[in-house]
Amino acid sequence: MTKTRDFYGPYRLTRLIRAGSTAEVWEAIEENEQERYALKILKSSIAKDKAEIALLKHEFNVGQDLQNSPRIIKILDYQVANDRPFLVLQLFSELNIKQALRRGPDSLAFMLPKIIEQAGEGLYYMHTRNWIHLDVKPDNFLVSRDGETKLIDFTISEKKKTGLGKLFHRQSLAQGTRSYMAPEQIRCKVCDERTDIYSFGCVLFELATGKPPYTGDTPNDLLNKHLTAFIPSPIAFNNNVTKEFADLIKRMMAKRPADRPQSMWDFLKEIRSIELWNKRPRKPEISVFDNMPGIRGADDMIRKPSRQDLEDETEE
């Protein structure tokens, strides 16, 4: 007999895909139509936290404005059940680029042109709707076995500021992920499409080399490198990267927004016209999708809850 906790409204939980610090992502079946979805459910410990609820509702509202792009995950509904708010999302490949890269850059290199183009198209569409993502990183792109790629996670996305909004911009706390934050984002300045382009440049560096462009001994050290450090070339870590691709990545990561490609459309036109590799990579004999590496880290831990976990939550 299925416990009540296995149901969230009409959705029956079938498998935990991902557990992070604030939410769990489950595969679920809608009982009436027997369709499969992904549910992003706030953890019980913060299910009544007004700030977290507001972020989840914000993500839903952003997603509703981005429904028409096949390069962006569809966010279909916001609901509350069992005293926990959740989003209903399109079920797509659960493997994100960060997880795939744990096998090294060769895991995706053979289909990288498709991945990059589709990821860029997702960001381009978002920008045409006047949204800035502000957390572009490998974790926030889902990729399928054939290279189909979708942009996810709009928790801190913002509408592009124009006119008086730019003039009266005030922000005291920088938001984002340190390994991919643009200088203006770190300094709490006004952000625009070029902020996402910088972060996407960091993602492309990691796709080409298997490592982010900067690391630091402390969080502040890492942020300072985005602000002042020399921009590394991907060729130094992977000599199969073409000069054209390396130069494009370095321009995307320019410290000054004016020195970067000015739009994702400009980027897409350029990336479509160049070769990424000196020698085209072969498809690996063992696919990362067939034999996923062990997952590490709280933000992408894959775990099936134990019987004790279920009993403890029921008691709560």
- Every domain of the chain and the residues it spans: 4-93+294-311, 97-271
Could you give the angle at which helices 193-209 and 264-271 cross, rounded to 10 degrees?
Answer: 30
* CA nearest neighbour of 123 among 135, 111, 112, 108: 135
| pTM value surpassing 0.75 | yes
pLDDT digits (tens, 9 = 90+) for 12-66: 999 999 888 899 999 999 998 899 999 999 999 999 999 999 999 999 999 999 9
Q: Which fold has domain 4-93+294-311?
A: Phosphorylase Kinase; domain 1 (3.30.200)
Distance CA 130, CA 39 (A): 26
**301: confidence class by pLDDT, cuts 50, 70, 90:** very low
Topology given in CATH for the domain delimited by 97-271 = Transferase(Phosphotransferase); domain 1 (1.10.510)
The contacts of residue 181 (CB under 8 Å, 6+ apart) are 174, 199, 223, 226
What residues pair up with 210 in beta bridges, in sequence order? none
Instruction: Give the three-class secondary structure for 315.
Output: helix
Gap between the Cα atoms of 185 and 202, Å rounded: 14
pLDDT digits (tens, 9 = 90+) for 128-169: 999 999 999 999 999 999 999 999 999 999 999 876 566 556
Say if CB 93 and CB 142 are below 8 A apart.
yes
Contact in structure between 303 and 19 (CB atoms under 8 Å): yes
